[in-house]
């Protein structure tokens, strides 16, 4: 799968921009910057998603050189992540089941396919990296989706996964934090308050996914090893939060996992 020519972004000195970007984006300043962009997501979605995509791609690039790699972006929405992977030299393909998400941006994206993450149009082991950002909480069978991502990853390749866990302060998405009082209450309150249905309905397109059960299920698998697991938006030193059952379900906010498929 290498139909699309990779582009590698250079800075003014001709050096790869990724290292320059990485140097300025780490620790707490990175977290604050992402949070600021998140608060302005409604008014400036391009800035938020472009920054989020670049940030996630940096996380993957910390585990492999992306140049020339085949990357599959599962449920990639409007394609910001696919674009960011291409800017790092990867051959990236966007598989997104919802055409309205695919066409949510003015600029269309080449190499985008309407496809469901449960049935990826990729042969066994056909991708170097299979990536999904904030999709797991939108499918009824998260482990089934992960299994399909692992199937499509070559031995030695990477699976990147991140999702907003249910007890996160943002677990109820636009209904947060009222999901803590139950999804039905949160949905009714949203309707009363805004005069329209929320975008998400629990059990339809939003499902409670937790931190502990996913970590346990993946640790038990013989076909992958977890090479990184931490709260996605926090500095690296917050990783020990994941050692604290109970607290991690609230404090993680969004779990990031990088797994390597066993050879």
DSSP state at residue 262: -
Instruction: Write down the H helix ranges in the chain.
Output: 17-24, 27-39, 45-61, 80-87, 99-102, 142-152, 183-194, 211-219, 247-251
User: Shortest distance, CB of residue 139 to ligand SAM, whole angstroms?
Assistant: 5
User: Shortest distance, CB of residue 243 to ligand SAM, whole angstroms?
Assistant: 26
- How many alpha carbons fall within 13 Å on the CB side of residue 142? 26
Of 83, 10, 19, nearest to 50 (Cα)? Answer: 83
Question: What is 105-153 written as a DSSP string?
Answer: SSS--TTEE---TTS-SS-TT-EEEEEEES-GGGSS-HHHHHHHHHHHE
User: Shortest distance, CB of residue 110 to ligand SAM, whole angstroms?
Assistant: 18
CA–CA gap between residue 169 and residue 187 (Å, rounded): 16
Reading the block at residue 76, the tokens are 């990639």
User: Shortest distance, CB of residue 66 to ligand SAM, whole angstroms?
Assistant: 17
Nearer to ligand SAM, 86 or 138 (CB): 138
Nearer to ligand SAM, 75 or 183 (CB): 75
Nearer to ligand SAM, 91 or 232 (CB): 232
Nearer to ligand SAM, 49 or 160 (CB): 49
Other Cβ atoms within 10 Å of 224 Cβ, number: 20
Contact residues for ligand SAM (CB under 6 A)?
49, 74-77, 96-98, 101, 116-118, 133-135, 138-139
Nearer to ligand SAM, 135 or 202 (CB): 135
For residue 172, count CB atoms less than 10 angstroms from its CB and return exposed for 0-12, middle for 13-18, buried for 19 or more: buried
User: Shortest distance, CB of residue 5 to ligand SAM, whole angstroms?
Assistant: 23
User: Shortest distance, CB of residue 54 to ligand SAM, whole angstroms?
Assistant: 12
Nearer to ligand SAM, 60 or 139 (CB): 139
């Amino acid at each position: 799968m290498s139909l699309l020519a990779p582009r590698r972004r250079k800075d003014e000195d001709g050096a790869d921009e990724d290292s320059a970007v990485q140097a300025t984006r780490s620790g707490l300043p990175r977290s604050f910057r992402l949070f600021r962009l998140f608060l302005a997501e409604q008014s400036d979605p391009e800035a938020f998603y472009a920054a989020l995509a670049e940030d996630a791609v940096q996380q993957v690039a910390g585990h492999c050189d992306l140049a020339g790699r085949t990357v599959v972006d599962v449920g990639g929405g409007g394609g910001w992540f696919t674009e960011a992977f291409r800017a790092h030299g990867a051959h990236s393909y966007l598989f997104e089941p919802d055409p309205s998400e695919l066409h949510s941006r003015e600029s269309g994206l080449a190499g985008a396919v309407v496809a469901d993450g449960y049935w990826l149009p990729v042969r066994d082991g056909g991708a170097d990296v299979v990536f999904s950002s904030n999709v797991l909480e939108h499918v009824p069978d998260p482990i089934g989706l992960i299994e399909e991502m692992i199937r499509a990853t070559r031995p030695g390749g990477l699976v990147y996964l991140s999702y907003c866990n249910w007890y996160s302060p943002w677990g109820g998405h636009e209904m947060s934090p009222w999901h803590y009082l139950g999804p039905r209450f949160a949905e009714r309150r949203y309707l009363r308050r805004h005069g329209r249905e929320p975008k998400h309905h629990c059990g339809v397109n939003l499902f409670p996914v937790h931190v502990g059960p996913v970590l346990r299920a993946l640790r038990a698998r013989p076909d992958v090893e977890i090479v990184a697991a931490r709260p996605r938006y926090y500095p690296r030193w917050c990783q020990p939060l994941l050692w604290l059952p109970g607290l991690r379900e609230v404090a993680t906010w969004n779990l990031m996992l990088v797994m390597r498929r066993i050879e």
